[in-house]
Amino acid sequence: MPISVGRLVEPFSSDMLFKSEAQSYRMAVQCPCGREIKEAGEFKLLFLKKELNEIDILCPNDTCYLRELGFIKFDVENGKAKFREAAFYPPFVTWNKSQLGEEEADKVLKKMLKELVTRYVDWNVLLAEAK
Residues lying near Zn ion in the complex (CB under 5 A) are found at 31, 33, 35, 59, 61, 64
Nearer to Zn ion among residue 33 and residue 46 (C-beta): 33
User: In angstroms, what is the minimal distance from the CB of 82 to Zn ion?
Assistant: 30
User: In angstroms, what is the minimal distance from the CB of 111 to Zn ion?
Assistant: 19
User: In angstroms, what is the minimal distance from the CB of 59 to Zn ion?
Assistant: 3
| Total count of residues recorded for the chain | 131
Nearer to Zn ion among residue 96 and residue 118 (C-beta): 96
